[in-house]
Amino acid sequence: LILIPFAKPQGGLKTGFYSSTCPKAEATVRSTVEAHFKNDPTSDGPNWPVPTGRRDGRVSLASKASSLPSPLDSVDTQRSKFAAKGLDDKDLVTLAGAHTLGQTDCRFFRYRLYNFTTTGNSDPSLSQSALAQFQTMCPKNTDGTERVPLDDSPMKFDVDYFKNVRDGNGVLESDQRLWGDPKTHDIVKNYAGTFRGLLGLRFDFEFKQSMIQMSSIEVKTGTQGEIRKVCSKIN
């Protein structure tokens, strides 16, 4: 048995933050989340302890959304955005692995199929089989709202996303570019691997680590911000 510690949360957060002031709070939340997972086992995804003690902000700016990754971003741009928040290449690739679940609209990647460099060509990093499949799912002259799974098993948390990127079947350009960058290539390769069970467990663990890191970015603690009475609006 190998025991590996979870990433240390930042900003004054910790598991058990409310143990003295509200001892039942975290246990109540934990039992609710665990019950949800038991009632909806379809994704088979991991769960992890969420460090508590964070407070709510009073300001929300749409301009801040520009720092979020875009499906059009190069790896260097993604890397810069992640580094600005204290995250490294491993976090970048690991968190991109969240695309093992869900779907996207054709409008976010259809240019890769029909007009990649505005000359009517397709993205050469796409495999021919993926190109044919996506063109069937995303016809050229529609509004682009058709939905496409982000990997071959969009309801299951697994490493199929990384296998798709490895094989030239990544849906979003930002995902497929991870295979072409020398620093992110090996991380994708290791997750995709050939021994699905072992590497799947490794991805599960490292995804938890990166999620804890990301959830601790620029948190408000102590007297910063507020504790909202209604979650959707400031007090």
pLDDT, residue 68, reads 86
143 is in an annotated binding site: no
Q: Is 74 exposed, middle or buried (0-12, 13-18, 19+ CB in 10 A)?
A: middle
88 is in an annotated binding site: no
Closest CA to 67 of 87, 52, 47: 87
Backbone angles phi, psi at 125, to 5 degrees: -80, -10
Write out pLDDT tens, residues 154-192: 999 999 999 999 999 999 999 999 999 999 999 999 999
151 is in an annotated binding site: yes
pTM of the model: 0.81
Q: Is 111 exposed, middle or buried (0-12, 13-18, 19+ CB in 10 A)?
A: middle
Write out pLDDT tens, residues 99-118: 999 999 999 999 999 999 88
pLDDT, residue 6, reads 46
* 12, 225, 53, 212 alpha-carbon torsion, rounded to 10°: -70
136 is in an annotated binding site: no
pLDDT, residue 37, reads 63
Q: What is the pLDDT along the chain (235 residues), one digit of tens a residue?
A: 333 444 555 556 666 666 667 777 767 777 776 777 666 656 677 888 777 788 888 888 878 777 889 999 999 999 999 999 999 999 999 999 999 999 999 999 999 999 998 888 999 999 999 999 999 999 999 999 999 999 999 999 999 999 999 999 999 999 999 999 999 999 999 999 865 545 666 898 899 999 999 988 888 888 888 988 888 888 8
71 is in an annotated binding site: no
Q: Where are the domains of the chain?
A: 25-102+150-215
* Cβ atoms of residues 144 and 105 within 8 Å: yes
Instruction: Return the CATH number of 25-102+150-215, one of 2.160.20.10, 1.10.3720.10, 3.60.15.10, 1.10.420.10.
Output: 1.10.420.10
